Amino acid sequence: MKYHLLIAIFFTMLSSLSADEQVILDKLEFDPARYIDVDELSRGMKGYGLTVFDGTKIEKFAVEVVSVMTAKSAGRSAFLIKVVDEPRFDIAKGVHGCSGSPVFFNGRMAGAMSFGWTFQEEPLYGVTPIKQMLNSYKRALAAETAKADRNKSAQEKLLSPDIYTRLMAPEVLQPQDWQRINSKITFGGLDMNSGPAGSKPLTSGLSIGGLPSGALGSLKEYMPGLTVNTGVFSTDISKQLTEGRPVLERGSTIVIPLINGDIEACTLGTVTEVIDEWVFAFGHSFNGNGPCQWPMATGYIHTFVSGFESSFKLGQAVDIVGTVEADEIMAICGRIGKTTPTTPAKTIVHFEPVGETIEFNMNLVQDESYASTMAVISAIGPAQYRGAMPNLCTVEYNVDLNFGQYGQIHISDISSEYSTAELTSDIATACSLMTSSPWDEVKLEKIVSEIRVNDSSIAADIEKVDISRLTYEPGETITADIELFRYRNEPVKQQATITLPADLKPGIYKLAIGGKRDYLATLSDAQPYRGNADKTSDIVKVLRDRFTHKRNNIFMTIVNNQVNLAIEQKPLGELPASKSMLLLSNARQLMTTQYNEIIESITPCDYVIFGRKQFEIEVTEKKTISKK
């Protein structure tokens, strides 16, 4: 059904084209004078390919057809070539970054080098026919025409709607949610093992420049599909561009910079074909997203690195010159001159033990599938700029996430002994919930982070709690003397208090004393309406509430036994039993939930609190003093 809809949109768009536009589209069709089809190829034919080995210089290398694999039905044909008389390929074998390198026979382009094998013994490559690659422009045009209705189309939901009913839970997103959000972050096509005989696309994965190797290893807990290598640099290469700024042309380097600036996160490959402003590259998909809006940049290759398992081009983006608009299984396709919005990101990191402050400025791709991942990298990457953090460390952070017309979310907290894991979780949760909103298309428009890193731990466990008695009258104050255990340190004494309401009814109550995680669990269980959202503005409201609570607090809570009702996010307070039954009736179309009032106190302290203690207390009738 989706395919037929796409075709209908495409032909509707064609009927409204101007004469000049039609001329351009005619050029995008397969031209036998310019291209050679797989049916004309045979074993042993000699030809050549184009790619960049060093800098921006496009070099020619000799190739020979090994075999032709023609589809028997409507499908994908391919053919195999071997690079001959080229020492660099003899050393490197399969080179990641060669994806898209065009090959020619009898003076006509045949297709793009696109796949190879791990541990291959010779420079053997699979080629995607140019005829199949050119077809990807239709996806770009159809997506442009349907852009106004994209929110109404049947897009895949990244998050289940019921998640937006529990936004105050200690962990809003579960491992399966992270897996779904990042299901396409494989950076190498729809299926890395889907090629002929176990072949793999010649991609470079997600390459990170400007950070030490291994700095982002902790991300894999939240982004299970993430693969990171060091295939790019982030440097000033203006002095090395002695022949001017590079352009996108046959055989040149093409880069998709998901992050660019002081940190660079990108994938790079080779341009196959350029027709007017249209660019075709890779010979396989990036992630198979279909319609997309990614920056498209020229590139510079420092060198290629030969490895035992695989080899890759070490390069970086130079200038953003257009937009990638289609990501299909046979090619990526974009247009030079088209611009796409990016998200400015600034991160300031204070490395307090060495008295150093570093500022990073970046631009992030604005894409629902990558927003949370790139936002996290823009923050924790700089935080780990000096390398992996020690086990016992403290990270204090303030993060402002601006979602344009939908508002701003401020995250201010402190974490100890968890490196950047809790910072990662906070940013990824907020970004994922907002950009996956089931009601609106929300973009992260700006992110500013300030992070302080200290090499000491301020984590403390609640070891023991003493309260003077277990029976109280309404209006009295309960004092808790708390002993905190600190690893390899002397215990610390802390005191916290909570005052009972003067109108609290007699009964047995549970008093809990703990840290932020336990406090959020209490709120989520006792007052579920506080974590419910039924529009995008509610997400912002709930997350603002969630992030006002910090980990270096002691929370004392008592859940009132009296059950009350709330309609959506509006607590109604105590109601007569008859009215409560009417509101809870299945015959009413009201989103009604039960809740309990919470008596609470929050005591700031110098430590990040872990652990929990609970007491059962009795509240008696308030004694009256008789008058004589």
> What is the pTM for the complete model shown?
0.86
Is pLDDT at 575 greater than 50 in this prediction?
no
Residue with the larger pLDDT of the pair 389 and 119: 389
Amino acid at 149: D
**Distance in angstroms (rounded) separating the CA atoms of residues 517 and 274:** 55
Range from 229-233, 287-291, 504-508 carrying the lowest mean pLDDT = 229-233
At 146, the pLDDT band (50, 70, 90 cuts) reads low
Residue with the larger pLDDT of the pair 200 and 397: 397
Compute the mean pLDDT over every residue in the chain, rounded to the nearest whole number: 83
Query: What per-residue string of b and e applies to 542-562 under the rule 16 or more CB within 10 Å gives b?
Result: bbeebbebbbbbbbbbbbbee
**Distance in angstroms (rounded) separating the CA atoms of residues 538 and 163:** 13
> For the chain, how long is the longest CA-to-CA vector?
118
**Distance in angstroms (rounded) separating the CA atoms of residues 90 and 46:** 18
Mean pLDDT, residues 425-448 taken together: 94
Percent of the chain whose predicted confidence (pLDDT) is above 90: 53
Q: Which two tokens stand for residue 301?
A: 């290759």
Residue with the larger pLDDT of the pair 314 and 307: 314
Residue with the larger pLDDT of the pair 224 and 369: 369
Using CB atoms within 10 A of its CB, is residue 405 exposed (0-12), middle (13-18) or buried (19+)? exposed
Mean pLDDT, residues 18-35 taken together: 75
At 574, the pLDDT band (50, 70, 90 cuts) reads low
**Distance in angstroms (rounded) separating the CA atoms of residues 584 and 296:** 55
Is pLDDT at 546 greater than 90 in this prediction?
yes
- DSSP secondary structure string for all residues of 121-170: SS-EEEEEEHHHHHTTHHHHHHHHHTGGGGGGS-PPPSS-GGGGG-TTSS
**Distance in angstroms (rounded) separating the CA atoms of residues 261 and 329:** 29
Q: What is the pLDDT of residue 440?
A: 93
Residue 615: count other Cβ atoms within 10 Å of its Cβ.
15
Q: Which two tokens stand for residue 268?
A: 């790079």
Percent of the chain whose predicted confidence (pLDDT) is above 70: 77
Residue 74: count other Cβ atoms within 10 Å of its Cβ.
5
Torsion from C-alpha of 603, 608, 612, 618, nearest 10 degrees: 0
Residue with the larger pLDDT of the pair 97 and 351: 351
The three-point CA angle 493-498-504 to 5° equals 155
At 287, the pLDDT band (50, 70, 90 cuts) reads confident
